Amino acid sequence: MNKPIQSIVVVGTDLHAWTIALGLIVELGHKGVSIKVVGRPQDERQGVLSLDSSAHSFHQRLGLKEASLISTMGGSYRYGIKLSNQSSHSSERIFSYSATGEMLNRVDFHQYLSRLNLSRLRLLAKEADLEQYSLTAQAALEGKFSHPAADSKLAKIDYNLQFDRRRYLSLLKNAAMNHGVSLIEHDVVAAKQSDDGAISRLDLTSGDSILTDFVFDCSGFIFDQVLNIQHESFADTVRFNRCLSWSASCGEATSLLNGVKGLQHGCLVTQSLPGRMAYTLNYHDQQLTDKQALEMASGLSQDLSPEQFEFGDLKAHMRVQHWVANAVAIGSVAGSSGNFIFSELFHTQTALARWLDLYPNQEINPHLSAQYNNSTATEYRRVLDVHGLLLSIVDNNIALPATLEHRIQLFAATGNVAFYEEDVFDRHQWVNLLMACGIWPQRCDVMLSDHSAQTISELLAAVKSDNQALIASMPSLDALLAAIRQAA
């Protein structure tokens, strides 16, 4: 048997680097594996970090308690995203993570709605929207929140967390270092490869060198300058290349819904934390100059000074290989399709879990990296499907991936969801997003073709009524957050 890994270096000091470092030290530290983070500390960009479904298991794995995270970092919860378009107020809809309604007589709930919709030719407009029957969408509109509760009608609630980005990074960094991660505050200037292509030594600006058995690259140095691994562009689907971020205090109740709003030249993402709202304007610099973007942002938050706005680049892509020899690309080095529904941190958390699942020895095994690369590339494509669908309501001219086109066509024709390997959404989440994006089936399940509109209306009214009763019993989000903070 070849030798086990004894030393891992994480190159870079951003949020992704500390996520990986903490995950590695918790999983491998007690086995004697040393974890070093290498790079000069840099300012993490401001804003709100919206975590995804992968964060629940990630926190659990690291022993991070949710209530403690919420209280120490002023975090919050979210149930979904409000989608809207500047050009049409009637197109405002809510995408929620939780399933809407329940399967009845082996037929998905949304099929009942489709049946009603078809029979009434959508005359009832908003009344027929799926969100009207979504427990969490309606709760979010009332500012009410509940965790899922086993063996109850609240059992199927899905929710996600969000935190201040810099405070979350700080927490991860402190936790990692408390567990034994070493920070070496110098940049990497050169890497030595052994005959099999493995990175065996990193030379630093200090003149020192460190030996390593495995490298996670969150800086781009290894993948761009040493290994020279190419990218596959997603720019035909995600057509923004710039973003402008800022945040402003907010006296309104904390929202359980983030926002994605289509503008004439761009897309505005809003995220809510207690007492604060964060904004990100995504745009393409050929359609909107930085100056115009700043004017637009200043118009939305007039009390802020120019230095409180932060410009950034947005590169929609993925590497053609994510694990090469003994190096893995992480964070924006690995790829991105923007932070619209899934954040880049989603890929980092799943990458960590995937790599640990394939945990290698020192010897390079091409079968392990092939398996990792295949799964990782597929995951990026699945997220691109989600973001492509979302952005299609903002921009009619984007190129849809073939898998997304098939999903849309199938759903529009049949009301069924095409499910692909490594899908990042459950079926019900696809249904919620497709319908929130205004894609309605042209027919309903054959089992419902002989149900009268009256029967279905009564059934749907009962669902609404049940939801209202449940929402009435939920605490308000802000009251709950205050109670969590107080308990801490």
Partner 1 sequence: MHKDKDSIRRIAIVGGGTAGWMTAAALAKLFEHSDCQIQLIESEQIGTVGVGEATLPHLRFFNQRLGIDEPEFMKAVNATYKLGIEFVNWGQLGDAYIHPFGDFGSPINGIPFHQYWMQAQQQGSNTPIGDYSLPVEMCKRNKFMFPAQDRSLLSTYSFAYHIDASLYAKYLRGYSEALGLVRHEGKVIKVNQNSASGFIESLDIDSGQNIEADLFIDCSGFRGLLIEQTLETGYQHWNHWLPCDRAIAIPCESTSEPLPYTRATADKAGWRWRIPLQHRVGNGHVYCSDFISDDEALDSLLSGLDGKPLAEPNFLRFNTGRRNKMWNKNVVAIGLSAGFLEPLESTGIHLIQLGIMKLMEFFPNRQIASAYTDEFNRVMTMEVERIKDFLVLHYNATERNDSEFWKYVSNMNLPDDLQHKMDLFKTTGRVVKYQEGLFLEPSWVAVYLGQRVQPSNIDARVSTYSQAQIESVLSRFKMGVDAAVSEMPSHLDALSNVAQNNNDGWKNASMSLYGD
Q: Which residues bind partner 1 (CB under 8 A)?
A: 1-2, 4-5, 27-28, 31-32, 61, 106, 119, 356-361, 365, 367-368, 370-371, 406, 409-410, 412-414, 416, 418-419, 421-423, 443, 445-447, 449-450
Q: How far is the CB of 346 from partner 1 (least distance, A)?
A: 17
Q: Which is nearer to partner 1, 388 or 441 (CB)?
A: 441
Q: How far is the CB of 128 from partner 1 (least distance, A)?
A: 18
E runs forming strands in 437-484: none
488 residue type, one letter: A
Which tokens belong to 325?
């020899």
In this structure, are strands 323-324 and 327-329 parallel, antiparallel, or unpaired? antiparallel
Q: Which is nearer to partner 1, 159 or 214 (CB)?
A: 214
Q: Which residues in 82-106 are b (16+ Cβ under 10 Å) and which e?
A: bbbbeeeeeebbbbbbbbbbeeeee
Backbone φ and ψ for 305, nearest 5 degrees, come out as -90, 160
Taking residue 442's Cβ as centre, other Cβ atoms within 10 Å add up to: 12
Q: Which is nearer to partner 1, 14 or 108 (CB)?
A: 108
Q: How far is the CB of 453 from partner 1 (least distance, A)?
A: 10
Report whether 145 contacts 135 (CB < 8 A): no
Q: Which is nearer to partner 1, 30 or 40 (CB)?
A: 30
**Measured between alpha carbons, how far is 221 from 232 in angstroms, rounded to an integer?**
18
Q: How far is the CB of 354 from partner 1 (least distance, A)?
A: 10
User: What is the CB-side half-sphere exposure of residue 472 using CA atoms within 13 A?
Assistant: 6
Is 277 in a helix, a strand, or coil? strand
Q: How far is the CB of 230 from partner 1 (least distance, A)?
A: 22
Q: Which is nearer to partner 1, 188 or 327 (CB)?
A: 327
Q: Which is nearer to partner 1, 60 or 206 (CB)?
A: 60
Chain centroid, CA 30 distance in Å: 30
Q: Which is nearer to partner 1, 179 or 231 (CB)?
A: 179
Backbone φ and ψ for 257, nearest 5 degrees, come out as -125, 125
**Measured between alpha carbons, how far is 353 from 299 in angstroms, rounded to an integer?**
43
Q: How far is the CB of 426 from partner 1 (least distance, A)?
A: 11
